[in-house]
């Protein structure tokens, strides 16, 4: 159980709502001794300890900081470990041969131990951006996405000189959003680059104590999410903090402090000004890290989904409780289960689920006899992706996957003889099949068809040949065939986009002309 104790007599930073005055007069930290907290070296990754010890041996301050400290206090195994230090990035690189420096707007050192990365950040001046200002990748989805920062951050070998004004200047836009900041400071300053109090706890490798400047120790115990400083100022500096608040609310089950919650409704439209690549990165953290269903609920409740994905939010609001909503929730539940089981997840499937409603809406705007046309389906996919990309980047490798999954649905719903065997060999089959299964569960595709495709993947080659022969006889017996008649996307009509739709006419084969 997490131990708590009374606050010290001195003021904590978060008790001063004046951001400027609090920075100018930083309070001394409350130092929580090893006997009073549950953070043990046994719970810290060995490679993180190596980095901490080597920095200390090099004459630098070194602290474990951020979500790893918070998670250990909550009894959760951290996925990664971040280090804050007094060493400059180039000094870190000299200490570790296995180190690379990344970032232009916000330089960080990454120390590599095989596939494990320990992120090392130099203490920032009080004006520096939060950790969320630089997109970082969740280890569960890095192999899947290969995402990059919105400003093209990459490895930098030629570092600017320390006195270079271009590297040191702090820039903000007219809305107060931080554009660039690489000024360095002390640990007393560094707390201001943290966004929430629960992420501003520093574990000191010198004496194994935890340093708390902001009251985060009590907030973790109370499972409460509080922004550091004036919430409106902090949201204006970086609107993505609103999404981070929603993510921690969903992931940790924390409640938002009233002062942290109140400005979100007024300021949420500021997210429209955030670079689309950052919102792509945040989308993956929201939906592909094991709490996608809860993230969807929180985003809708706080009105953030409609800002992040306007067409998705509008569709769900227009069709509450629809089959599309059930499909989206079932898909996110499946994704959450895969993450918890340590299985890979893909952004392609996520965006297919999110955009299913807008895509179906574009298809259903066409005459019903065109709903199964591949061209019409692909055009609808392109339009829905284009609309979503006005806010969130969707890389081409994922938008192409969305097209493939949708275009294969009519073929999967109406398997035909030997063609079905060729379909099994297609690289895109598995993803399209997974979508078919979800649609069948939601009542949007014939359940018996999904079961047929499931079985044909499981049986022996001899049994598979028998299934194909049986399918050919059934097709011949049906003649012109009957439609399967599944519900529409919104569940209001008898047939719909990517359901079985109306019966499809079978073309008559022309007889060859006889001799003249």
Where do the structural domains in the chain lie, given as residue ranges?
13-273, 309-478
Residue positions counted in the chain: 516
Give the CB-side neighbour count of residue 432, counting CA atoms within 13 A.
22
Q: E-assigned strands of 166-232?
A: 171-172, 178-180, 201-204, 210-212, 224-225
Q: How confident is the model at residue 347 (pLDDT cuts 50, 70, 90)?
A: very high
Calculate the alpha carbon distances from 445 to 309, 355, 403, 426, 500 in Å: 26, 18, 18, 21, 6
CA distance 336 to 454: 22
Which CATH superfamily groups domain 13-273?
A: Beta Polymerase, domain 2 (3.30.460.10)
Higher pLDDT, 12 or 196: 196
Instruction: Indicate if 309-478 has the same CATH topology as 13-273.
Output: no
Residue 312 confidence (pLDDT):
98
Q: How confident is the model at residue 157 (pLDDT cuts 50, 70, 90)?
A: very low
Higher pLDDT, 1 or 172: 172
pLDDT tens-digit series, residues 280-334: 999 999 999 999 999 999 999 999 999 999 999 999 999 999 999 999 999 999 9
Question: If you average pLDDT over every residue of the chain, what do you get?
Answer: 82
pLDDT tens-digit series, residues 182-222: 688 999 999 988 899 999 999 999 999 999 999 999 999 99
CA distance 370 to 266: 43
Say whether pLDDT at 85 is over 80: yes
Largest distance between two CA atoms of the chain:
109
Residue 244 confidence (pLDDT):
97
Collapse the DSSP code of 455 into the 3-class scheme (helix H, G, I; strand E, B; otherwise coil) and give the result: helix
Q: How distant is the alpha carbon of residue 345 from its chain centre?
A: 11
Q: Which residues are catalytic?
A: 80, 82, 195
Q: Which of 115, 42, 52 is nearest to 84 (CA)?
A: 52
Residue 301 confidence (pLDDT):
97
- Please give the CATH topology (third level) of the domain spanning 309-478: cca-adding enzyme, domain 2 (1.10.3090)
Say whether pLDDT at 393 is over 80: yes
Say whether pLDDT at 158 is over 90: no
What average pLDDT does this structure show over 110-123? 96
pTM to 2 decimal places: 0.78
Burial class of residue 87, CB neighbours in 10 A (0-12, 13-18, 19+): buried
Residue 477 confidence (pLDDT):
72
**Residue 430, Cβ neighbours under 10 Å: how many?**
11
What average pLDDT does this structure show over 445-459? 94
pLDDT tens-digit series, residues 492-510: 433 344 443 333 444 455 5
């Amino acid at each position: 159980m997490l131990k708590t104790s009374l606050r010290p007599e001195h003021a904590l930073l978060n008790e001063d709502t004046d951001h400027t005055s609090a920075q100018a007069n930083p309070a001394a930290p409350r130092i929580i001794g090893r006997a009073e907290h549950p953070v043990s070296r046994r719970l810290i990754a060995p490679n993180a300890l190596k980095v901490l010890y080597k920095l200390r041996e090099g004459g630098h301050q070194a602290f474990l900081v951020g979500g790893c400290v918070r998670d250990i206090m909550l009894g959760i195994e951290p996925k990664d470990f971040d280090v804050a230090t007094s060493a400059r990035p180039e000094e870190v690189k000299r200490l570790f041969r296995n180190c690379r420096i990344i970032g232009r707007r916000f330089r960080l050192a990454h120390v590599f131990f095989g596939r494990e990365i320990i992120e090392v950040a130099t203490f920032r001046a009080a004006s520096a951006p939060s950790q969320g200002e630089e997109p970082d990748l969740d280890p569960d989805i890095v192999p899947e996405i290969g995402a990059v920062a919105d400003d093209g951050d990459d490895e930098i070998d030629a570092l600017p000189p320390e006195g270079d004004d271009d590297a040191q200047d702090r820039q903000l836009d007219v809305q107060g959003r931080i554009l660039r900041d690489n000024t360095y400071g002390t640990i007393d300053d560094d707390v201001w680059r943290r966004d929430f109090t629960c992420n501003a706890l520093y574990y000191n490798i010198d004496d194994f104590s935890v340093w708390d400047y902001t009251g985060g120790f009590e907030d973790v115990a109370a499972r409460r999410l509080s922004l550091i400083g004036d919430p409106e100022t902090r949201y204006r500096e970086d609107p993505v903090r609103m999404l981070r608040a929603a993510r921690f609310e969903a992931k940790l089950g924390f409640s938002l402090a009233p002062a942290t919650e109140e400005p979100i409704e007024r300021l949420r439209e500021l997210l429209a000004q955030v670079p689309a690549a950052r919102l792509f990165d945040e989308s993956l953290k929201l939906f592909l890290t094991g709490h996608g269903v809860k993230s969807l609920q929180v985003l809708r409740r706080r009105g953030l989904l409609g800002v992040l994905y306007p067409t998705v939010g509008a569709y769900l609001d227009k069709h509450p409780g629809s089959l599309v909503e059930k499909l989206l929730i079932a898909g996110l539940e499946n994704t959450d289960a895969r993450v918890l089981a340590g299985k890979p997840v893909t952004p392609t499937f996520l965006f297919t689920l999110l955009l299913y409603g807008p895509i179906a809406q574009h298809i259903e705007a066409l005459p019903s006899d065109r709903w199964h046309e591949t061209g019409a389906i692909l055009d609808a996919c392109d339009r829905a992706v284009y609309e979503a990309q006005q806010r969130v980047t969707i890389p081409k490798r994922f938008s192409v996957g969305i097209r493939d999954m949708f275009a294969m649905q009519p073929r999967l719903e109406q398997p035909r003889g030997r063609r079905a065997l060729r379909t099994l060999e297609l690289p895109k089959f598995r993803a399209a099949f997974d979508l078919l299964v979800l649609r069948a569960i939601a009542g949007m595709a014939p359940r018996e068809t999904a079961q047929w495709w499931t079985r044909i993947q499981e049986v022996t080659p001899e049994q598979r040949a028998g299934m194909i022969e049986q399918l050919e006889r059934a097709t011949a017996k049906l003649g012109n065939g009957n439609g399967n008649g599944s519900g529409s996307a919104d569940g209001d009509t008898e047939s719909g986009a990517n359901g079985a739709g109306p019966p499809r006419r079978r073309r008559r084969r022309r007889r060859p002309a006889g001799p003249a």
